[in-house]
C-alpha cells in the first residue's frame, strides 16, 4: 500500500447541496491531513464552499464569464481552460479527483499536463447525453480510476469500456438527520393534511429524470382522499415543469398534491412528515434522500431506477418490476393496507450502514490502490 503523502486537487461543479457535492463535503471534512495535502476547485461560488474546512484552499474556475472573460473567449482564449492550466502548474497534484462527469474541461487540461485523474461517477446513462461522445470517451479512457456510487453505475461504466472501476456506495452523515415529530405535525397541519391521512413524501429537483412529471398520473391512479403526495425540492424553470405544475394545480383526483419548493431548515421535518417515501426517478444512481428516509424509518416504494434496487431489502418496502405508474400505485396500496409488511427498525438498521465513517474508510481503500 502506498502510504506516502499525496497531493489531491478535488473538482466540483457548483458547490451546492446536490448529493454528489454533499458526499465530497463529507470526505473533505474527514480527510487525514497527515496523509493528504488537498485543494478544491469549484466552477461556481456556491454556498457549500463556506462549509468546507477553512484550511483547505479553494480556487474558482470560471464557467459563467464576466465581460472581460467573454471578450477573451471570443478572441480564442478559454478562461476556464486558462484557470485550469494555471492550477496544473501551481498545485503540483499527484492526481485530480473529478467529482462528476459534468466538467470534461478537467480531462482536457489533465491530458495536456500528464496529470492522473480519478473520476467519481454519480451519474447514469440518461445523464451521459449532456456530454459529447469525445468528452465521454476521454473521461472513461483517461481516468486512472472510475468510481461508481452504486453497482448499477459501475456496470454502466464497464459497459462503456471502463477498465479500472471501483464501487463506493454513497453515504450520509447520520447526525444531521434530525427527527422532530412536533415540527412535522405542524407542517402537516400547515398543509391542511389530517392527522389520520397517509402522506407519501417525494424529494428532489423537479426534473424529468426524477419523474416529477408523473406526479399527476400517480395522484389520478391512487384517487383516494386519505392519501396526500408531498413533493419537496427545488423547481427547475422549464416547460415540462410548468406543464406538470399546471396539471397539479388543476388536479381533479381525490388524492391531493402539495408542492413545497426547496426546503433547507425544515427539510428533515418534511421527510419525517411522511408515512412513506416515494421514489419516482427514471434513473437514480444511489440517492442520498433514500438513505435519509430509511434512517427515519420510512417504508420506500420506488421504480427500479438504479441503486434503490440494491438498497431496499425485505421489510423496507417495494421496488416495482417496471417503470409503471400502475405498479407503483399497487405497491403503495400494499404498503398502506399492511399487505406488504414493513419494519422501520430494519430500515434504520440498513440505512445506518451508509454512514460517513464506513464510507470514508472504503474511499481510502480505493485511493490507496491508486498510485
High-pLDDT (> 70) share of the chain, %? 99
In the prediction, which pLDDT does 1 show?
A: 42
Who's near 236: CB < 8 A, 6+ residues apart?
Answer: 205, 206, 207
Rounded mean pLDDT of 218-246? Answer: 97
Q: What Å distances lie between residue 345 and 177, 289, 317, 351, CA to CA?
A: 16, 18, 12, 10
Q: Is the pLDDT of residue 89 over 60?
A: yes
Grid coordinates representing 313 are 431489502
Q: Span 354-369, mean pLDDT? A: 95
Q: What is the pLDDT of residue 266?
A: 96
Mapped onto helix, strand or coil, the DSSP state of residue 198 is strand
pLDDT in tens, 149-185: 999 999 999 999 999 999 999 999 999 999 999 999 9
**Element holding 277 (H helix, E strand):** strand 276-279
Q: What is the mean pLDDT of residues 102-121?
A: 96
pLDDT at position 77 is 77
User: For residue range 212-226, what is the model confidence (pLDDT) as tens digits?
Assistant: 999 999 999 999 999
The answer to whether 49 and 136 have CB atoms below 8 angstroms apart is no
- As a whole number, mean pLDDT of residues 71-99 equals 90
- Kindly report the average pLDDT of the chain as a whole number: 95
Asked if pLDDT for residue 65 goes beyond 80, the answer is no
The string of pLDDT tens digits covering residues 7-30 is 999 999 999 988 899 999 999 999
**pLDDT-based confidence at 2, cuts 50/70/90?**
very low
pLDDT at 78: 85
**Count of helices and strands (H, E) across the chain:** 16, 13
What pLDDT was estimated at residue 215? 98
Q: Domains of the chain (ranges plus CATH)?
A: 6-171+355-369 (3.40.50.2000), 174-353 (3.40.50.2000)
User: Could you report the per-residue pLDDT of 250-284, keeping only the tens digit for each?
Assistant: 999 999 999 999 998 999 999 999 999 999 999 99
Task: Give the pLDDT confidence score for residue 3 in this predicted structure.
Answer: 55
Mean pLDDT score, 78-99: 94
SS3 category, 202: strand
Percent of the chain surpassing pLDDT 90: 92
In the DSSP assignment, the letter for residue 50 is G
In the prediction, which pLDDT does 72 show?
78
Q: Residues 192-218: pLDDT tens digits?
A: 999 999 999 999 999 999 999 999 999
Handedness of CA 180, 212, 342, 295 (dihedral sign): negative
pLDDT at 68: 79
Amino acid at each position: 500500500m502506498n502510504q506516502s503523502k499525496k497531493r489531491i486537487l478535488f473538482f466540483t461543479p457548483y458547490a451546492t447541496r446536490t448529493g454528489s457535492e454533499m458526499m465530497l463535503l463529507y470526505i473533505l471534512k474527514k480527510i487525514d491531513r497527515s496523509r493528504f495535502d488537498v485543494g478544491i476547485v469549484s466552477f461556481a461560488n456556491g454556498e457549500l464552499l463556506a462549509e468546507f474546512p477553512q484550511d483547505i484552499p479553494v480556487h474558482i474556475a470560471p464557467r459563467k464569464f464576466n465581460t472581460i472573460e467573454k471578450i477573451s473567449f471570443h478572441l480564442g482564449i478559454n478562461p476556464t481552460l486558462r484557470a485550469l492550466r494555471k492550477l496544473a502548474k501551481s498545485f503540483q497534484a499527484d492526481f485530480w479527483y473529478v467529482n462528476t462527469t459534468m466538467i470534461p474541461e478537467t480531462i482536457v487540461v489533465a491530458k495536456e499536463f500528464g496529470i492522473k485523474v480519478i473520476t467519481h461517477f454519480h451519474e447514469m446513462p440518461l445523464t451521459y447525453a449532456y456530454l459529447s461522445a469525445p468528452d465521454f470517451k476521454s473521461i472513461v479512457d483517461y481516468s486512472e480510476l472510475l468510481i461508481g456510487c452504486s453497482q448499477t453505475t459501475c456496470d454502466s461504466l464497464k459497459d462503456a469500456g471502463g477498465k479500472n472501476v471501483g464501487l463506493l456506495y454513497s453515504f450520509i452523515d447520520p447526525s444531521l438527520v434530525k427527527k422532530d415529530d412536533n415540527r412535522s405535525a405542524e407542517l402537516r397541519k400547515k398543509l391542511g393534511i389530517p392527522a389520520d391521512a397517509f402522506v407519501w413524501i417525494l424529494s428532489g429537483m423537479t426534473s424529468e429524470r426524477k419523474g416529477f412529471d408523473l406526479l399527476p398520473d400517480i395522484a389520478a391512479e391512487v384517487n383516494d382522499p386519505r392519501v396526500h403526495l408531498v413533493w419537496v425540492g427545488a423547481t427547475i424553470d422549464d416547460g415540462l415543469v410548468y406543464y406538470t405544475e399546471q396539471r397539479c394545480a388543476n388536479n381533479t383526483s381525490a388524492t391531493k398534491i402539495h408542492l413545497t419548493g426547496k426546503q433547507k431548515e425544515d427539510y428533515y421535518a418534511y421527510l419525517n412528515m411522511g408515512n412513506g417515501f416515494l421514489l419516482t426517478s427514471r434513473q437514480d444512481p444511489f440517492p442520498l434522500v433514500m438513505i435519509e428516509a430509511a434512517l427515519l424509518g420510512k417504508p420506500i416504494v420506488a421504480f427500479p431506477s438504479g441503486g434503490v434496487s440494491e438498497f431496499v431489502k425485505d421489510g423496507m418496502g417495494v421496488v416495482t418490476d417496471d417503470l409503471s405508474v400502475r405498479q407503483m400505485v399497487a405497491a403503495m396500496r400494499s404498503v398502506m393496507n399492511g399487505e406488504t409488511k414493513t419494519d422501520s427498525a430494519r430500515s434504520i438498521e440498513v440505512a445506518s450502514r451508509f454512514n460517513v465513517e464506513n464510507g470514508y474508510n472504503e474511499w481510502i481503500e480505493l485511493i490507496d490502490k491508486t498510485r
